[in-house]
Amino acid sequence: MDYAGTAAPGTFAAVESAAHDRRRPAAPFPRAIETHAIRHFSHFASLPPVLLVLAPSGYGKTLFISSVARSLGSQGCRTPVFPSDAGAPASEPMLRRVERALGCEAGAGAVTARDASMAGWPARIDAILWAMEAIEDDVVLFFDGFEPARDRTLDPLIERVAAGDLARVRMVFACTELPVDLVHKVRLLGGIHEIGPIELSLGHEEIRALFSNAPTNPVVLGSEQLAAVAALTEGWPAAVRLVHVAMSACGASDATRRREGYELSLTDTLSRQVLDALEPAAVHFLLEIAELECFDAELCVYMLGDTRVGETLAALVRNNTMIVPAAGRPGWYRLHHLFRDYLRRERRSSRPETERKALLSRALRWHHRHGYHHDALELALAIREGRQAGGLLAECAQLLVRDQGQPHSYIAAYERLQALDASPANEAAYWYVWAMVFARQYEKAYRALASIPSGDAAQDAGGAADAADGRMLLRKEALLSVILFSLDRVSEARLRSECWLNADDGLDPFETAGVCCVVGTAGIADLDFQTARHGILRARIAMSRTDSAYGMAWISCLETLLDLEEGDAPLDPSALEDAMERAGRALGPNSPILSTMDIMMARIALDRGDPDLARACVLRGLGQARQHGFIETVRIALGVAVRLWDGRQDSVFAPARLEEIVTSFPARLQVMHDCAVLVRLVRLGLDQAAADWVRRQNLEPLLDASQPDFPAGRLASVQRALLAARIAWRMARRDFDAAHALVEAGLRTALKSVCAPWTVHLLLVQAQILQATGQPAQAGKAFLRAVGLAAPRNLYQPFIEYGDVIRTLVAADEKKQRALVVEQERGFLGELRQRLGLADDAGAGAGPAGRADQDVGSEAPTVREIELLGYVALGLSNQGIADRLDLTVGTVKWHLHNLYAKLRVRNRSGAIFKARQAGLLRR
């Protein structure tokens, strides 16, 4: 059983870091009382796609979850258990753990104030669904304490699993209720089953076992006592437990006697009996701490000002007096919900509100002093201290938004603060707009930016006020440039950014870097690589002055994007791998920036001819595409997905599955994606499907000579996509003359640039046209020109995609390939022969690549090196491998260095490819 409850206390970064510490929440009893329901559902075949355990608090839902998970785990199932955090909003941490358990790890940042309306989650749900489709073993996901009625985040998961088309996945929810509309929907799907209080209630023998097996104060019940307990509690597990506590203290006859005149509920009656059995000091302590969601001894001592309360807490825990460990917070505890609610009602009815606020204010100060920012913020909001909550939020604004890349966390906290303080400080509002930009809430950011005053002039005097106004005006202008670019008003954004940089005072390097990124990315979109490189270089210089690991990761992304689009440098993933490792260490493995970096890695892997690695990376990237990134990065992801598509409509990369991502962005992405799909359909030989696609997407005008009816449609990258589609469309209609004329026109421009992938594509299309029109010699020349461009850049995949076209050209006699005078080109062709399955014994050894078994080298990898290679193939970073194998990162790097030497490769993707060739890895 894998308990995935992991939110630890401390700073936001500490919470994120501690999220990997998988700990079992301690149960009140050492082993479960096995009920009929537990026995029945402890077999995978007995579980429906979705099992709902619906019952009020105190019916043993957690006990049911832990028992069934433990039993299934012993049978070989994966059984991650996701308990709600004590003192933290449930949705975000739980979603993050689901991502980690399924290997998609594309969640948002660390824990802070949130609510269920947080934007961007649908993209993460998509990633989880994609991961579920790829599962090859039995997995049961247990959700303990997550309330779908209050948080609709997981609705799409519940609906999909309930449909029954994910044979390897089951979901079990322990909650108090389910939304009515969701109940009706999933019942129609037929894959859901519910159990309730009747199934969870304890029978006589189970009550007897619970009493006798208690770790402290076990009680052996006689027949009359057993009947009295059963009659009093009606098998309600929490009530049975309260009776046991009361009976341990005051005897069986008092604990099981119904008291005349009690108008309280059963739990209140039993809770009162528990308090009556305790010392006055213990009762006072429980009433004082009842307002806390969770606590430890040090906090209690400070809050109550009494060093003796630590001993009181220890005694209550030792006697198991309805105090249980807080999930994932070692050394911290919480009160049982029913007991806590009773204590709160008792305290509030007898103590003034001012006393409660004073007590919680002390707790707030302690949390703030010790860096428990989330708890401090929650307490400030609970006592409606808007000013103090605003100060706490302002303290961590840059940390959350700029440095750690947790925009959704900040947005949710800010909007909760607005309910208490209608006018948060300008600085908090400023980072609120940045957070919405990162979260892709551009229209909302645009409106919020307009509402920020130019400065806090009222707080200053004279020249200071003027300076503050001018500074805020510059900051707003910087933000406006970023927002306009994000709204695809590229030309306007670029012009504003260039003007802003001319007046930049350099006081805020983060702002400078952001505006430089606009210039650089606008240059990429318009294929103006000189401007793009200058802008991104300037952004790196500025960002290096900040402590923003998130910002530096973005710069690495943009540099890789530029290299891919410019197409001049060899495809080497090592720099990006290093950047991903640094980002993972600084931001945690679930930072959304890693999903964007995965997109870049997917494109590198695909062009190098490693579709397996490309598939794994792009699936992780697509999962966050709607939430994180912008058109240029998402276009790369969609391009990889389309090239991996095999034409089947049930494929994870089918256009229908990608449409939701495409429509989340401005119209430019739709046009470019439509063109890419058309090119792929024609390449697959699905001409009728291509015609249907053109008609359905209304592409005919654009495929003739029309231009897109939006300003960004004039960008060079859009024009390139349109040219590729126009060529493909004419080839599908067998109009080779028109297609060849378009290719020739494209080559005249392409050969003047350094964009090797685009030029290689045009040359291979030209070879296809020349072969189809009976000109094999000219086709061979086009092919060899393509090889000359691709060889120094490791561009294999374009040739593999055109394998049916160039097979005869690759297999041509060596004498016809005199143009390949460079040994690197000959080696490239030899490798290409092998990848196309054309190398015989003689030919295979002609190039440096040699045969697959020769690729491994004279010394075979060790068992440990092959083990590391398996983790590399799964996409783990060096730090991730080190954590799995309990090694240092330096040791992992040393092993990989030796492995690369044995495989005669220089990087991860090369090692994976060669290892699969040699049979060291399964596909």
Give tens-digit pLDDT for 414-434.
888 888 765 777 888 888 998
- Provide the b/e sequence for 567-601 (b: ≥16 CB within 10 Å): beeebbbeebbebbebbbebbbbbbbbbbbbbbbb
Strands 139-144 and 333-335: unpaired
* Nearest residue to 408 (alpha-carbon basis) of 60, 194, 150, 91: 91
User: Which residue pairs, CB below 8 angstroms and at least 24 apart, start in 301-309?
Assistant: 302/362, 302/363, 302/366, 303/359, 303/362, 303/363, 303/366, 308/281, 309/285
Pair 138, 76: CB distance under 8 Å = yes
pLDDT at 512: 94
Tokens of residue 326, six digits: 């807080």
The SS3 call for residue 78 is strand
SS3 50: strand
- Give the 3-state secondary structure of residue 103: coil
Domain boundaries, the chain: 2-200, 205-276, 474-546, 734-850, 863-917
Q: Are 53 and 61 in contact (CB under 8 A)?
A: yes
First to last CA, the chain: 28
For 72-104, b where at least 16 C-beta lie within 10 A, e where not — what string? bbeeebbbbbbbbbbbbbbbbbbbbbbbbbbbb
Euclidean distance between CA atoms 638 and 672, whole angstroms: 10
Q: How far is CA 689 from CA 634, 664, 685, 700, in A?
A: 25, 25, 9, 14
Pick the CATH number of 474-546 from 1.25.40, 3.20.80, 3.30.70, 3.90.1690: 1.25.40
Among the residues of 733-851, which ranges form H helices?
736-750, 756-772, 776-790, 797-801, 803-810, 823-835, 841-844
Instruction: Report the run of H or E that residue 535 belongs to, with start and end.
Output: helix 529-543
143, containing H or E segment: strand 139-144
Query: For the domain bounded by 863-917, which CATH number is listed?
Result: 1.10.10.10
Counting as low any pLDDT under 70, the low residues of the chain are 1-33, 56-58, 84-94, 104-124, 147-153, 164, 176-190, 215-216, 234, 246, 248-267, 270, 320, 327-328, 421-422, 454-470, 812-822, 839-859, 921-923
For 527, 674, 702, 739, 756, the CA distances from 725, given in Å and listed in that order, are 18, 9, 9, 10, 19
- Separation of alpha carbons 427 and 441, rounded Å: 19
DSSP state for residue 295 in the 8-state scheme: B
pLDDT at 189: 63
Closest-CA residue to 127 (of 84, 157, 150): 157
Instruction: Name the superfamily (CATH) of residues 2-200.
Output: P-loop containing nucleotide triphosphate hydrolases (3.40.50.300)
C-alpha to C-alpha distance for 91 and 89, rounded to whole angstroms: 6
What does the alpha-carbon distance between residue 433 and residue 427 come to, in Å, rounded to a whole number? 10
Q: Are 196 and 202 a contacting pair, CB within 8 Å?
A: no
Q: d(Cα 471, Cα 796) in Å, to the nearest integer?
A: 51
Reading the block at residue 470, the tokens are 């001018």
CB of 609 closer than 8 Å to CB of 913: yes
692 CB-near residues (< 8 Å, 6+ apart): none
Whole-angstrom distance, CA of residue 639 vs CA of residue 643: 6
d(CA 3, CA 15): 17
Local structure of residue 791 (DSSP, 8 states) = G
Structure tokens at 546: 């900040």
CA 860 centroid distance within chain: 37
Amino acid at 710: F
Q: Give the number of C-alpha atoms closer than 13 A to the C-alpha of residue 452, restricted to the C-beta side.
A: 30
Triad 339, 341, 346: Cα angle to 5° = 95
CB distance 402 to 550 below 8 Å: yes
513 SS3 class: helix
Determine the Cα–Cα distance for residues 194 and 669; give it in Å rounded to an integer.
Answer: 44
Tokens of 667: 């119209």
> Under a CB-based contact definition with an 8 Å cutoff, are residues 413 and 374 in contact?
no
| Beta strands 80-83; 2-3: pairing state | parallel
pLDDT at site 25? 34
Residue 478: partners with Cβ closer than 8 Å, 6 or more residues away: 500, 511, 514, 515
Q: Which helix (H) or strand (E) holds 398?
A: helix 397-398
For residues 12 and 88, what is the distance between their CA atoms, to the nearest angstrom? 12
Residue type, 448: A
What are 208's two structure tokens? Answer: 């007897």
- pLDDT value, residue 919: 72
- State both tokens at 137: 């073993």
Angle at 109 (CA atoms; ends 487, 621), nearest 5 degrees: 60
pLDDT at 101: 79
| CA atoms of 867 and 863, how far apart (whole Å) | 6
Distance CA 41, CA 71 (A): 9
Q: Residue 600: its pLDDT value, please?
A: 95
Paired strand residues for 3: 81
Q: Are strands 50-54 and 192-195 parallel, antiparallel or unpaired?
A: parallel
pLDDT at 539: 95
User: CA-CA distance, 270 to 249, in Å (whole number)?
Assistant: 12
Q: For residue 111, what are the CA distances in angstroms to 154, 673, 674, 881?
A: 18, 36, 39, 25
Tokens matching residue 450:
């307009």
Question: What long-range pairs does 836-839 form, CB within 8 A, spacing at least 24?
Answer: 836/799, 836/800, 836/803, 836/807, 836/810, 838/807, 838/810, 838/811
What DSSP assignment string belongs to 317-382? HHTT-SEEEPTT-TT-EEE-HHHHHHHHHHHHHHS-HHHHHHHHHHHHHHHHHTT-HHHHHHHHHH
Q: Tell me the Cα Rg of the chain.
A: 32
Chain centroid offset of residue 371 CA: 26
Q: Which residue has the tokens 């690695």?
A: 613
Q: What is the DSSP letter of 628?
A: S
Q: Report which residue type is found at 395.
A: E
Strands 333-335 and 323-325: antiparallel
Sequence-ordered list of residues with C-beta below 8 angstroms from that of 122, at least 6 positions apart, any chain: 156, 626, 627, 660
Two tokens at 449?
A: 């930016």
Query: CA 866 → CA 388, 873, 920, distances in Å?
Result: 55, 10, 7
Burial class (CB in 10 A: 0-12, 13-18, 19+), 881: buried
For residue 7, the model assigns a pLDDT of 32
